[in-house]
Chains A and B, each alone.
Chain A
Amino acid sequence: MIQVDVFKLVIQRPRSPHFEKGLVNILRRSKVDKAVKLFALDCLFDDISIIVSNSLQHEALSTLDLFRQYSLMMREAASEGSPRDSPWLHALFQFTTTDGMHTDIQRGIFLFDHLQANKTLGDAGRSLLLGEFVRYMKRVLVDRLFTRTMKEESIFAELSFFNPYIWSDPNENGQRSRPAPRQDNGNQFRDRVQVHLQRIVILDTLYGISPKDRPSAWTKVQR
């Protein structure tokens, strides 16, 4: 039933200023259906900088935990060997398998638009061989996960409250003081360790994707 709240938030126009906070609350506090959860997490991380910019330390930590869940679910979806046997992927991507060999993608859905923009869908229209469809779906998901993880990494690396060497408060003259190691209390230290570990797990999830499923652009960046 919590699904109702997710859909209500997403289709609301103009978008509520509490959109991100609302989604975070739903995802943190309730057990949500798998397809709806990935749909909601994907909406939430359209722009991670918005969520993190006005967050308190513990909220940022909680966002990072959700990002870790997001990356795990994206990898799971991308690694699904037989998407046609997964009801949650059927719901999420709205495809139908016609004769066991071909997959029909509905016009107007994300995957259709993406493939059409890249001129992958030929004159045959919206029907693809099952193997082709699986390959393209993986590619799209892995690409998206890669871009978003890189963005998340750069944002969290710059967050002053998790980095003892960045001191962002201005001094008495209104100027920023030199970066210097900060005095931590126990909680801050624990939070920093947690953030550090979460970031490692997120990167590990990304790089755990089989090399054959990685987009070629990614391989070039790694070289």
Chain B
Amino acid sequence: MTFATEHKITAAKAPILERQIRRRLTDDPTRPSEALDVVFRHVPEIPGLADLFDTITDCFLWPYLSFGCRTWPEGAEVPVSKIHTLLEAISSQRLDLDHRQRNTVNRPMIHKGCGLIL
């Protein structure tokens, strides 16, 4: 029950945050580092950071790590340490989510005369 409610809140918050980040980048594309700070501010309260990953990839990863690039550019506006922190945060949230999903027991429903319905 709690998990379901949390999930609904996450689902509602994620697009708002996504819009906020995108707007920040559109308004001032020269300061992606500040947009990333917005993401970091919401990491503890939004467990569905993974849902934002497409936006994060578009805004923070592809511009610096496109085809043929192998290292994070030294002069990039977003320092590589921030990117490491971001990717770690997403990974740990994903692991946490996987763990919670594994621990969610689906009670099998029995339908009269038809046996087991999954």
What residues of chain A have their CB less than 8 Å away from a CB belonging to chain B?
Answer: 1, 3-5, 7-8, 10-11, 13, 35-36, 38-39, 42-43, 46, 91-94, 106, 108-111, 114
Contacts and interface: CB of A to CB of B under 8 A. Distances in A.
Contact of B87 (A8, A36, A43, A46): A8
Contacts of B75: 108
Interface string B62-84: 11111111111101000010011
Contacts of B90: 1, 4
B66 A11 contact: no
Nearest to A114: B68
A104 to B, nearest CB: 13
A94 B84 contact: no
A7 B68 contact: no
A7 B61 contact: yes
Interface residues of B, number: 26
Contact of A110 (B57, B68, B72): B68
**Secondary structure class of chain A's binding surface, majority of residues:** helix
A109 B67 CA distance: 8
B69 A110 contact: yes
B66 A94 contact: yes
A13 B73 CA distance: 13
Contacts of A3: 53, 57
